[in-house]
Amino acid sequence: MARTVTETTMQATSVRDGWLSADTMDVNDVDVAFGPRDISRELQSTAKVQMIRSVVIGMARSGTNLLVSLLNSHPEAWFYGEIFHVRSIRTFDREIGRIEARYGQNAQAMRDRDPIEFLEMFFRYAEHKRRVLGFKIFANHFPEVQNKLIQDPACRVLLLERPNRLAAFSSAQIGRQTRVWHATEPAPEIVKIHFSAGAFSRFCQFTDRTYDDLRERLHHRGDYLDLRYEDLLFQETHLAIKRHLDIAPAPLLSTALIKQNPPRPIDRFVNPDEVRHSLDLVGHPEWALEG
């Protein structure tokens, strides 16, 4: 069953006040061919590093970069970024060079031709060999990879959701405009965007369907950790994550990421009255105030 973090009696951690959940929303299908070389036999013959496999699954702007940053502050864990982003392979640069030198092929071409084989290559070539090794993946990217990990009972799955749809929607729209998806320094200026009720409605519907589908698939596997964006600030959440990953309770998790957008989602729009009207229609006026 899903594990959730208790919402009451939480104590704040040493995480910095203010942070940014940073994800991208670019999509671009790639049509490439995998070469004839059979790497599965070579992988099987290689001594395996004893490690715990893990994956962070979430939607764009749900806080996955923040969670990865927190996880990577622990000496027993290392999580890469979007190895399976549909447009590119991210935060795996040195390893890509070794893979391409070894096989004489483009790494992204190999990944797109056989994602499951590339998944094994990831765990083989990852430079950061720690007790827990993983990466983040968007819920609508490479479902075959997600299913492979979800069906693996030994894989530790972290599902992250940002329930405040307006906060996620506005963060995505601002990110698209500024091309800034995460930061460690304050933004030079506050960017506001125009609210579109139709675009917001489609965003909510797509996000709701995606998480419903994810939880249905995860329900059949049993154990996974269900996290919410706003809970990532609390020590109780950090301890639950450490227990789930079977890593030491110390040290405290921390991050250098900061939040750039105004704390209140309503303040991110140039037409706040339209925002409030839409929120009243969907029955979530509180989304205007909490990020």
- Is 290 part of any domain? no
Compute how many other C-beta atoms are within 10 angstroms of the C-beta atom of residue 185.
Answer: 8
- Is 32 part of any domain? yes
Asked whether 159 and 137 are in contact (CB, 8 A), the reply is no
* Mean pLDDT of the 250-256 span: 94
Number of structural domains found in the chain? 1
The three state secondary structure string of 16-65 is CCCCCCCCCCCCCCCCCCCCCCCCHHHHHCCCCCCCEEEEEEECCCCCHH
Given a cut of 60, whether residue 49 has pLDDT beyond it is no
Structural domain range at position 53: 2-263
Given a cut of 90, whether residue 275 has pLDDT beyond it is yes
Share of the chain above pLDDT 70, in %: 81
Both tokens of 195, joined, read 């609210």
How high is the pLDDT of residue 238? 98
Residues 6+ apart with CB under 8 A from 276: 266, 285, 288
Which strands make up the sheet holding 52-58, listed edge to edge?
2-4, 224-228, 156-161, 52-58, 132-138, 77-80
Given a cut of 50, whether residue 277 has pLDDT beyond it is yes
H-state helical runs in the chain: 40-44, 64-71, 93-103, 107-113, 115-125, 143-150, 165-178, 197-221, 235-245, 272-282
- Compute the radius of gyration of the chain from its Cα atoms: 20
- Is 272 part of any domain? no
User: If pLDDT is split at 50, 70 and 90, which confidence band does 67 have?
Assistant: very high
101: exposed, middle or buried (C-beta count within 10 Å: 0-12, 13-18, 19+)? Answer: exposed
Given a cut of 80, whether residue 17 has pLDDT beyond it is no
CATH number at residue 172: 3.40.50
How high is the pLDDT of residue 183? 64
- Is 35 part of any domain? yes
- Is 274 part of any domain? no
- Is 271 part of any domain? no
Residues 6+ apart with CB under 8 A from 202: none
- Is 238 part of any domain? yes
Q: What is the pLDDT of residues 157-193, one digit of tens each?
A: 999 999 999 999 999 999 888 876 666 776 778 899 9
* Mean pLDDT of the 102-121 span: 95
d(Cα 257, Cα 249) in Å, to the nearest integer? 22
How high is the pLDDT of residue 290? 72
- Is 168 part of any domain? yes
* Mean pLDDT of the 107-122 span: 96
What is the pLDDT of the chain when averaged over all its residues? 84
